[in-house]
Amino acid sequence: MENILEVHQLSKHFGKKQALNNVDFTVGKGRIVGLIGPNGAGKTTIMKAILGLFSYEKGQIKIDNHPVSEASHQALAKVGALIEYPAIYPYLTGLDHLKLNATGDATTERIDQLVKQMKMESYINRKAKNYSLGMKQKLGIALALINQPELVILDEPMNGLDPQATKDLRDVIMSQAAAGTSFLISSHILSELEKLVSEVVIIDHGEVIKQATIANLNHQENDFIMLKTSDDAAARTSLAQVGITTAEAPGLVFNQTPSATLALVIKTLVKADIDIYDVVHQGEDLEASLLSILHNEKKEA
């Protein structure tokens, strides 16, 4: 797969503090990638470095194969971004903002379409000083999207959005990604991010801990399987005898590992003459995966 963004060995200090340490990751064309990690991990610093807003001591950033740095901005013409708070002028309307920022052909059509898609029609002609936090946030996102960028970088885009606006934003991002736009998105609202991204890059203490698809994340770390049997107590004892521990939930829950496979569980229960009524893969949500990865990383450190 071709990459729209490549970050190689990126390192940055603020004074003595190392904010980024050999950060490596990629964003494939048309992919929606989540940048996640605890507060202060380095997410915003990475995004600002990609946008040429910060210098860095070491490493390389390439957008569509062209290098980007504080001194080399050309490739950023293909990028739209919303980092921290949108730059909004209180005495201009939302429409004025979009008109001022739109470049290229058919700007009126593109503005109309985006305003409709983002459901901003009712306030787009009002002065921005009267906008709520969520309205400003939507305008900031519309400004990032207006010039049909190839890569869109959004830092906490769901901030201040109500559930309907969050869903509208998700629909807009999905439809743009389907048309080939790539996204790098940070968010603390992992339950929302999970509905949107196909991949995540996990950052902690300025380092990439992991880049993985959501499907791989959910299955690599913890693969919980729940069983319903004809006799859960007897099943628990039989499984303990072959070294498989089960948690008491509704039914029997075990974590599938190379030494505790579903195949071994089924064989053991059949041998003990216990019927299996149901087998459910529980998987993990993004939040649980993130916490367990960060927890394991601390244990290994």
Task: Using CB under 6 A, count the residues that bind ligand ATP.
Answer: 10
**41 lies in the binding site for ligand ATP (CB under 6 A):** yes
CB-based contact 114:98 (threshold 8 Å): yes
**138 lies in the binding site for ligand ATP (CB under 6 A):** no
Q: How far is the CB of 298 from ligand ATP (least distance, A)?
A: 17
Question: What are the backbone dihedrals phi and psi of residue 77, each rounded to the nearest 5 degrees, phi first?
Answer: -60, -20
**36 lies in the binding site for ligand ATP (CB under 6 A):** no
Name the residue nearer to ligand ATP (CB basis): 43 or 97: 43
**40 lies in the binding site for ligand ATP (CB under 6 A):** yes
Q: How far is the CB of 38 from ligand ATP (least distance, A)?
A: 7
Residue by residue, DSSP assigns 110-175 as HHHHHHHHTT-TTTTTSBGGG--HHHHHHHHHHHHHTT--SEEEEESTTTT--HHHHHHHHHHHHH
Half-sphere exposure of 29 (CA within 13 A, CB side): 11
**16 lies in the binding site for ligand ATP (CB under 6 A):** no
Q: Which helix (H) or strand (E) holds 269?
A: helix 262-271
CB-based contact 283:224 (threshold 8 Å): yes
- Among 43, 138, 170, 210, the residue binding ligand ATP under the rule CB under 6 A is 43
- Among 19, 61, 115, 196, the residue binding ligand ATP under the rule CB under 6 A is 19
Stretch that binds ligand ATP, among 37-45, 66-74, 131-139, 159-167 (CB under 6 A): 37-45
**45 lies in the binding site for ligand ATP (CB under 6 A):** yes
**44 lies in the binding site for ligand ATP (CB under 6 A):** yes
Name the residue nearer to ligand ATP (CB basis): 102 or 193: 193
Q: How far is the CB of 228 from ligand ATP (least distance, A)?
A: 41
**89 lies in the binding site for ligand ATP (CB under 6 A):** no
What sign results for the dihedral spanned by CA atoms 267, 269, 270, 272? Answer: positive
Half-sphere exposure of 44 (CA within 13 A, CB side): 11
Hey, which residues between 204 and 243 contact ligand ATP (CB under 6 A)?
A: none
CB-based contact 252:229 (threshold 8 Å): yes
Non-local CB neighbours of 195 within 8 Å, separated by 6+ positions: 170
CA distance 281 to 70: 47
Name the residue nearer to ligand ATP (CB basis): 150 or 204: 204
Non-local CB neighbours of 147 within 8 Å, separated by 6+ positions: 80, 101, 102, 103, 104
Q: How far is the CB of 140 from ligand ATP (least distance, A)?
A: 16
- Among 39, 103, 122, 259, the residue binding ligand ATP under the rule CB under 6 A is 39
**14 lies in the binding site for ligand ATP (CB under 6 A):** yes
Q: How far is the CB of 45 from ligand ATP (least distance, A)?
A: 3
User: Which spans of this chain sit near ligand ATP (rule: CB under 6 A)?
Assistant: 14, 19, 37, 39-45
